[in-house]
Homo-oligomer: A and B are copies of this chain.
């Protein structure tokens, strides 16, 4: 093996650049060349690549949000013909193995290349934490902290104005961001797709709180359940809450990554390179109990699903009045 290709795909997340840097530097440290592939699978098929030079390209990117390799929509990559073109291009470029950073769509691409015999490794980069085979995805910790900071701010206004705020956080189908930021921000209720909820019971609780002197409230709703506006409309049927709906939106995806996201991105990027050096491809890497770990990418995607830690929702219930 001489050359490793690196691409980012799907939605950007904080820490992707830290992973790119770790893969490239670890590869160079082992005497390999690292090639950055611009614009995801689209750039791969088009041969839009550049040789990474450690100094010019990698210094000072560990703490930058977004992805220097950028990303692009490319539904055509679902077709076998396009996948084969990509492999042809990789061979032409002399790239022997590929590391893909992204969410499950990106993993599917890596799985397809693996099925066609090209060594590919998936690194979990998404704020949603919805990838099987890892406790945490790269970007999740930062997104949770951004959401928590926003909820802290909203709490200031809720307390000053005796208001109820319904705040929608990201997470696609997963409630992880809602759970973590909701606990961290002292939410009165956390509404996630993985657990039943009862809007009327929540409304009753808020009314009861008001009687007991807590005249403000915060409800965190995962986007996988419904929108903040919809939830607010439902809630308002059960009382006059002077409620407001807020959607945190894209601010959760960018910005300086937290130390944890940088560290796990470094661990996972380096580990992907170590696996390739041992001749292992077709893997998805992840963090389990603080250590990097690898699983067969096909098995991971076909037979496993991310499990949200619903016990955190029960915990939050015990911390309520």
Determine whether the beta carbon of B255 is less than 8 Å from that of A152: yes
Q: Indicate if A320 sits at the interface (CB-CB under 8 A).
A: yes
CB of A63 to closest CB in B, whole Å:
5
What's the Cα separation between A162 and B67 when bound, in Å?
11
| Per-residue contact bits, chain A 48-83, to B (CB 8 Å; 1 contact, 0 not) | 000000110001101111110011100000000000
| Alpha-carbon gap, A107 to B240, bound state (A) | 29
Is A244 close to B, CB under 8 A?
Answer: yes
Q: Is A159 an interface residue (CB 8 A)?
A: yes
Is residue A194 within 8 Å, beta carbon to beta carbon, of the partner chain?
A: no
Residues facing B in A23-71 (CB within 8 A) are 25-26, 28-30, 54-55, 59-60, 62-67, 70-71
Determine the distance from Cα of A312 to Cα of B259 in the docked complex, in whole angstroms: 13
Q: Is B184 a contact partner of A263 (Cβ separation < 8 A)? A: yes
Contact A148 B259 (CB under 8 A): yes
Are the CB atoms of A63 and B152 closer together than 8 Å? yes
- Among A135, A161, A309, the most chain B Cβ lie within 10 Å of the Cβ of A161
Copies in the complex: 4
Which B residues lie within 8 Å of A303 (CB)? none
Tell me whether A12 is interfacial, beta carbon within 8 Å.
yes
Any chain B CB within 8 A of the CB of A185? yes
A79 CB → nearest B CB, Å: 22
Q: How far is the CA of A169 from the CA of B69 in the complex (A)?
A: 30
Residue pair B246, A250 in contact (C-beta under 8 Å): yes
A135-B71 contact in complex given A156-B255, A254-B157, A319-B26, C-beta closer than 8 Å: no
Give Cα A148–Cα B150 distance, bound, in whole angstroms. 14
Q: Given the interface contacts A65-B156, A180-B263, A290-B135, does A318 sit within 8 Å of B247 by beta carbon?
A: no
A267 touches B (CB below 8 Å): yes
Give the shortest distance, in Å, between A174 (CB) and chain B (any CB). Answer: 15
Contacts of A152 in B (CB 8 A): 63, 65, 254-256
Contact A184 B259 (CB under 8 A): yes
- For A266, list chain B residues within 8 Å (CB): 183-184, 315-316, 319
A185: B residues at CB distance < 8 A: 62-63
A residues with a Cβ closer than 8 A to B are 8, 11-12, 14, 21-22, 25-26, 28-30, 54-55, 59-60, 62-67, 70-72, 135, 141, 144-150, 152-157, 159-162, 165, 180-181, 183-186, 212-214, 244, 246-256, 258-260, 262-263, 266-267, 270, 288-290, 309, 312, 315-316, 318-321
Q: List 9 A-B contacts (CB under 8 A).
A: A22-B319, A59-B214, A63-B186, A65-B157, A70-B160, A141-B259, A144-B259, A153-B255, A247-B249
